[in-house]
Amino acid sequence: MRFISTRNPADAVSGSTAVLSGLAPDGGLYVPESFPPVSMKEIEDMTALDYPERSARIMSLFFDELSYDELLSITTRAYSTFDGDPAPLVKLDGGLYVLELWHGKTHAFKDMALSVLPLLMTALKSKAGQKETCLIPVATSGDTGKAALEGFSGVEGTGVIVFYPDGGVSRTQRRQMVTTLGDNVSVIAVRGNFDDAQTAVKRAFGDEKLKEELKTLGCKMTGANSINLGRLAPQVAYYFSAYADLLAAGQIKAGDEVDFCVPTGNFGNILAGYYAYRMGLPVGTLICASNDNNVLSDFLATGVYSLDRPFIKTTSPSMDILVSSNLERLLFEFAGRDGAVVRGWMNELKDAGSYDIGAERLAEIRKKFRGGYALQSDYAETLAELYDEYGYLADPHTAVAFDVCASYRDGCVSDVPTVVVGTASPVKFAPAVLAALGEEVPDDDVKALRKMEELTAFPVPDSVYALFGMKERFNETIDPSDVPSAVAKFAEKLGERA
């Protein structure tokens, strides 16, 4: 399988180039040259496989430089860090399920891909004969950062430096990051919001002077944000896995459609669902759920993507995003894979802050996608209702999806089963969960966790309590314009270590 850029589909590259660079040189995102087909028979066969096997099957369709056995050893190692089944499907009622993707080490769905990516990168790097250290600058809205730090900490030939929006992540998320051990990791707060941090990191990737400087230090920048193809492929696998679980449990027959409702920010998770559909999975509707930052639901209603709106900090910070990077991959498909059209829209977004894909293309997208949003007060109510009705404790991000899903199901007559994708564990957001349940919120984070655990019997792992007793190793705050120099400084430090 070869990969092409969304902005210039003429040049195809190998999987290792796509994964090891992250972004295409023209600023576009790498997409598969074609969607590898998966037959219903192959999907049915998955019912007998465990999660690492299912994942390796799907990954092998994308990365043929590695053998199935090599990929299986990667997914087996990656998912051995999880607590039990990496992607269990929980039934709530008749046709409503939740796919829990937060049983990894950092308690959010980012672990599904970021526990695989470092191993995949290392394997592809050795096949490609790349000697340089992979230096990985990451912008995070809260969960990617810790998952990347955990994934790459101690991995030979790599270094990861995380930039998070100062004051824009939950206290537990911040704690998780700044206490990370290892000498190939760094964490820095950036003044501004997530979009500012993401833009600064994207700029660093295009900074020729920085690239030269890193070269002399034996480093090469690699992206690990959700635009990296090595994150997308492992995410495609859990859509197939959920379907196989529904089949195995006799909840559906082979060929039946299933809807998925996904709490969305950078559009990586839901895009993987769309890829699964293009590969042959019987997906009905993909419901894109936003929080108060409803740029995507507006886009899916009007065809206009507009940044002319305030950035709102919410209790679901990992979805506080206005520039949704992976949407470019969807646009590419609905622009007839015409790179010039995509380039035009992206330039309009950069120069004028908006673009309009037109009524016809929107109608095509809406054959598969619906968007909706839930405001903070609404999804807090939904979180409490879910707990009352099913005894199910959802985190605020997952509650956004449940809220949007309820509105969608109310308005439609079909009885297609719906899988809500659960993206984080409540333990990452105890204060917001307690507030949603109408409880008084203790100021102290450990007390909040303990109160949530006592009230709901939701088990909080010891490792989460322990975070609050650990030493904070990183406390630097910088301006977005200083991101390149921070990356260079980190490269020097990595060099001294080697």
Ligand X SMILES: *Cc1c(COP(=O)(O)O)cnc(C)c1O
SS3 category, 374: coil
Selected binder of ligand X within 319, 362, 437, 488 (CB under 6 A): 319
Contact region with ligand X (CB under 6 A), list: 3-11, 156-164, 180-188, 258-266: 258-266
| Tokens found for residue 372 | 């909706």
CA gap 98, 426 in Å, rounded: 14
* 337 φ/ψ angles, rounded to the nearest 5 degrees: 55, 35
Options 105, 146, 397, 451; binder of ligand X; rule CB under 6 A: 397
Q: Is 125 a catalytic residue?
A: no
| Listed residue (394, 481, 414) closest to 163, CA to CA | 481
Q: Which residues pair with 108 in a beta bridge?
A: 424
**How is 271-339 classified by DSSP, letter by letter?**
HHHHHHHHTT--EEEEEEEE-S--HHHHHHHHSEEE--S-----S-GGG--SS-TTHHHHHHHHTTT-H
Nearest distance, CB of residue 120 and ligand X, angstroms = 18
Residue 264 in the binding site for ligand X (CB under 6 A): yes
Residue 285 near ligand X by CB under 6 A: no
Q: Note whether 267 binds ligand X by CB under 6 A.
A: yes
Among 55, 106, 133, 226, binds ligand X (CB under 6 A): 226
Q: How far is the CB of 439 from ligand X (least distance, A)?
A: 21
Least separation, in Å, of the C-beta of 67 and ligand X? 29
Q: Which candidate, 433, 424, 423, places its Cα nearest to that of 453?
A: 433
Q: Report phi then psi at 163, rounded to 5.
A: -115, 120
288, with CB counted inside 10 A (0-12, 13-18, 19+), is: buried
Least distance to ligand X from the beta carbon of 423, Å? Answer: 3
Answer whether 22's CB lies under 8 Å from 325's CB: no
Please identify which of the residues 105, 110, 125, 146 carries the catalytic annotation: 110
Q: How far apart are CA 177 and CA 191, in angstroms?
A: 17
Given the complex with ligand X, which of 180 and 318 has the nearer CB atom?
318
- Binding test (CB under 6 A) with ligand X, winner from 28, 52, 263, 480: 263
CA distance 226 to 178: 21
Residue of the chain from 21, 179, 222, 318 that contacts ligand X (CB under 6 A): 318
Interface residue with ligand X, options 110, 174, 329, 409 (CB under 6 A): 110
Q: Which is nearer to ligand X, 329 or 409 (CB)?
A: 329
Q: How far is the CB of 235 from ligand X (least distance, A)?
A: 8
Instruction: Find the shortest distance in angstroms from Cβ 141 to ligand X.
Output: 6
Residue 148 — φ and ψ, nearest 5°? -70, -40
Q: Does 152 bind ligand X (CB under 6 A)?
A: no
Nearer to ligand X (CB atom), residue 222 or residue 291 = 291
Q: What does the alpha-carbon distance between residue 12 and residue 36 come to, in Å, rounded to a whole number?
A: 16
Count, residues near ligand X per rule CB under 6 A: 17
Work out whether 105 is an interface residue with ligand X (CB under 6 A).
Answer: no
Binding of residue 228 to ligand X (CB under 6 A): no
Q: For the segment 419-438, give every residue that binds ligand X (CB under 6 A).
A: 423-424
Residues that bind ligand X (CB under 6 A): 108-110, 143, 226, 263-269, 318-319, 397, 423-424
What are the residue numbers of the active site?
110
